[in-house]
């Protein structure tokens, strides 16, 4: 090993020796001068002492250990307690891991060689409805920070208000979309700034005690996220800095992250030393031209090279091949940063899972080119979704990191045991339409025209739109210009003696809003149309982020707007909500002993119908597992009331949903599936011990289907 690659506190020994020598000389001269001055010698000649200030600064930095905790930037380096420090970090998001597993995942990150954890704070997780604050369970960020402190891991906290993160609405709470007049997001719009000031006025005082100076792990706080890729509103950024400084003081380093281009940095940074500008760029790009560019957007001496998102993998949308990146290439480019004293944060160190309805979405050329994210956020990270680390990427990155870490790395833990519990038989308990017809629902809204979900206080899940119309002998043509995101259309007769469930006639999707022919039902009364709209995740990046859900335009029947609508919210449980509050899914639980008999021998003859299927997973020993949904169509699943996420194996690539052990209990575990179309013909799912991303046709890649 060459002398240039041996590290102490993250700095090459060669450079460290040079700096130490320089500082020793300066300190010796300084002490000699003090001695001479004490005796009055040479006083006139050295009265001004022009170098005294810098010498004192350096000496104070070197002697700060044991005096006060301090994390700062100087000489284009990070300094921790007076010593040069190299950030070798990784993103690990507390809201994508059950709290029972936080310590387990942090220990795996530490064994990888990381000294810093970076995490976002999603506003929508902590304030799901206006004024309702949630800081318990998976939203207990303070316990997460305490764990980082306990494990001697520093924290870079990304407080938003916008976070991206492939998270619904980029972390913004969906109730912002219901405000009239509309709030201009990510801008200096006074209405938006007031909302951010109120939210940060709650959050930031709660975390200030966790700042490094105050004995906590937080060394840096990021405001906004890649703003240069979105806008050019310096007043907005200055507002954020002022709010942050008011609550956090002047000692915490504030930082921004922007893509490594001059345009992005011009728009996303603030000149001067009020805030540190970090960069991100594609893994495989030469890092050092990006770091040289970064230096232009920081004050002199205030630009330690930092890739705050060093990509270890990539995200995957439904209908795409699962993302994979080469372990050797990833490790090689990390070493290009670390070997020259640069700092890096792995994005992601551990991806985790988009439990509930919080997975986000992206767009292509326009907002109809809609690309929702998987439930899994594995990200091809070195620590896999279930915590596994026995993989080439973890090993390759750890070998590189070990070269640039003075102390020996922590021992590598073994993979957590997973168990295949086998076949789970299910039974159909109710059609959604049975529940709608038999349950006394609060919250039905009537309106001349369809309303957006958010306008009705419905932030996630589904909305059922119902209206009546006069049938025509030759049928009618239905057209919905704008639906977000996917609508299944059913028709029936309005008469009370009509006992059949509504008949499925077609699906309208955001990316394929073609017309649907409504056949003549030969009703003796008027016809009734049911449109079940699914919110598949709000856009989290780009110009179309203002992403309301539901039917967002008139509904046309033979060219004429159809009016007089009833709207019924069907929310289900989300990640941070009480599992006992939802009447829809509770009704499905109650009827578990009253199965609906169906002949499902041929899915070809089975009429698509949104229905509930229930069964029990028997557990003798509680371990992690995965549920395979091969043969099912599309829907959402709950175990013991916990929303484990969306499934869509007919589209792929994700076949299996991850079920962490803390969700399970010994004995019977209740599984409820809301299937939108057709179930597995044999009515079962399988508990297996591995992930699977091979569902859907390979021809689906980058191609939408309904």
User: Catalytic site residues?
Assistant: 226, 309
Strand ordering across the sheet containing 77-80: 71-74, 77-80, 83-85
Question: 429, exposed or middle or buried, with CB in 10 Å at 0-12, 13-18, 19+?
Answer: buried
Strand ordering across the sheet containing 476-479: 516-518, 476-479, 555-557, 560-562
Q: Beta strand pairing status for 306-311 and 343-350?
A: parallel
- At residue 551, the 3 state secondary structure works out as strand
Q: Whole-angstrom Cα distance, residue 169 to residue 627? A: 27
Q: Which contacts (CB < 8 Å, 24+ apart) does range 502-506 have?
A: 502/433, 502/528, 502/530, 503/607, 504/607, 504/608, 504/609
Question: For residue 258, what is the enclosing H or E element?
Answer: strand 253-259
Which positions ≥6 away from 401 have C-beta within 8 Å? 88, 112, 113, 114, 334, 338, 409
- At residue 79, the 3 state secondary structure works out as strand
Which residues in 450-469 are b (16+ Cβ under 10 Å) and which e? bbbbbbbebbbbbbbbbbeb
> Residue 118's closest CA among 289, 214, 257?
257
> Residue 474's closest CA among 558, 400, 562?
558
Q: Whole-angstrom Cα distance, residue 97 to residue 81? A: 32
What are the E-state strand segments in 319-403? 343-350, 361-363, 370-372
What 3 state SS string does 151-172 have?
A: CCCEEEEECCCCCCCCEHHHHC
């Amino acid at each position: 090993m060459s002398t240039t690659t041996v590290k102490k506190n993250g700095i090459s020994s060669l450079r460290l020796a040079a700096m130490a020598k320089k500082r020793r000389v300066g300190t010796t001269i300084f002490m000699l001068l003090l001695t001479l001055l004490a005796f009055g010698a040479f006083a006139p000649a050295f009265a001004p002492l022009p170098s005294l200030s810098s010498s004192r600064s350096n000496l104070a930095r070197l002697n700060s250990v044991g005096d006060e905790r301090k994390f700062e930037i100087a000489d284009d380096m990070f300094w921790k307690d007076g010593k040069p420090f190299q950030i070798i970090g990784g993103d690990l998001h507390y809201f994508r891991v059950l709290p029972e597993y936080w310590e387990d995942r942090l220990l795996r990150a530490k064994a990888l060689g990381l000294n810093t954890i970076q995490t976002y704070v999603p506003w929508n997780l902590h304030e799901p409805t206006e004024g309702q604050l949630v800081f318990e369970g998976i939203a207990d960020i303070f316990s997460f920070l305490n764990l980082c402190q306990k494990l001697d891991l520093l924290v870079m906290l990304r407080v938003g208000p916008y976070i991206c993160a492939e998270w619904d609405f980029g972390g913004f709470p969906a109730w912002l979309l219901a405000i009239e007049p509309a709030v201009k997001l990510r801008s200096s719009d006074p209405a938006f700034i007031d909302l951010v000031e109120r939210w940060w006025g709650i959050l930031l005082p709660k975390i200030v005690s966790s700042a490094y100076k105050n004995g906590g792990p937080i060394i840096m706080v990021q405001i906004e996220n890649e703003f240069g890729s979105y806008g050019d509103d310096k007043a907005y950024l200055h507002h954020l800095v002022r709010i942050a400084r008011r609550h956090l003081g002047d000692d915490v380093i504030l930082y921004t992250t922007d893509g490594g281009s001059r345009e992005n940095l011009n728009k996303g940074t603030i000149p001067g030393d009020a805030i540190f500008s970090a960069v991100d760029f594609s893994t495989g790009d030469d890092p050092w031209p990006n770091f040289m560019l970064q230096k232009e957007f920081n004050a002199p001496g205030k630009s330690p090279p930092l890739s705050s998102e060093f990509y270890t993998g990539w995200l995957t949308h439904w209908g795409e091949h699962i993302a994979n990146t080469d372990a050797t290439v990833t490790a090689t480019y990390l070493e290009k940063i670390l070997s020259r004293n640069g700092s890096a944060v792995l994005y992601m160190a551990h991806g985790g899972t988009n439990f509930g309805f919080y997975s986000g979405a992206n767009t292509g050329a326009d907002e109809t080119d809609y690309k929702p994210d998987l439930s899994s956020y594995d990200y091809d990270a070195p620590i896999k979704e279930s915590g596994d680390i026995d993989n080439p990427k973890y090993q390759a990155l750890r070998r590189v990191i070990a070269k640039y870490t003075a102390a020996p790395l922590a021992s590598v833990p073994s993979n957590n045991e997973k168990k295949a519990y086998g076949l789970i038989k299910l039974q159909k308990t109710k059609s959604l339409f049975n529940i709608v017809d038999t349950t006394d629902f609060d919250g039905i809204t009537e309106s001349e025209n369809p309303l957006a979900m958010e306008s009705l206080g419905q932030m996630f899940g589904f909305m059922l739109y119902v209206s009546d119309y006069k049938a025509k002998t030759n049928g009618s043509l239905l057209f919905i210009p704008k639906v977000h995101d996917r609508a299944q259309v059913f028709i029936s007769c309005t008469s009370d003696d009509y006992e059949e469930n509504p008949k499925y006639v077609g699906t309208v999707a955001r990316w394929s809003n073609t017309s649907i022919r409504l056949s003549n039902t030969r009703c003796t009364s008027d016809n009734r149309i049911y449109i079940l709209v699914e919110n598949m995740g709000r856009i989290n990046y780009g110009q179309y982020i203002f992403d309301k859900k539901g039917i967002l335009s008139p509904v046309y029947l033979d060219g004429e707007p159809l009016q007089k609508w009833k709207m019924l919210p069907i929310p289900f449980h989300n990640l941070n909500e009480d599992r006992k509050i939802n009447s829809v899914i509770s009704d499905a639980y109650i009827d578990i002993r009253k199965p609906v008999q169906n002949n499902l021998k041929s899915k070809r003859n089975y009429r698509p119908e949104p229905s509930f299927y229930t069964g029990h997973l028997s557990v003798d020993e509680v371990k992690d597992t995965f549920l395979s949904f091969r043969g099912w169509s599309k829907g959402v699943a709950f175990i013991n009331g916990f929303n484990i996420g969306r499934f869509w194996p007919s589209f792929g690539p994700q076949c299996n949903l991850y079920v962490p052990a803390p969700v399970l209990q010994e004995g019977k575990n209740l599984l409820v599936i809301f299937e939108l179309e057709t179930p597995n013909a044999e009515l079962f799912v399988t508990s297996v011990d591995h992930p699977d991303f091979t569902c859907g046709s390979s021809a689906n890649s980058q191609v939408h289907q309904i």
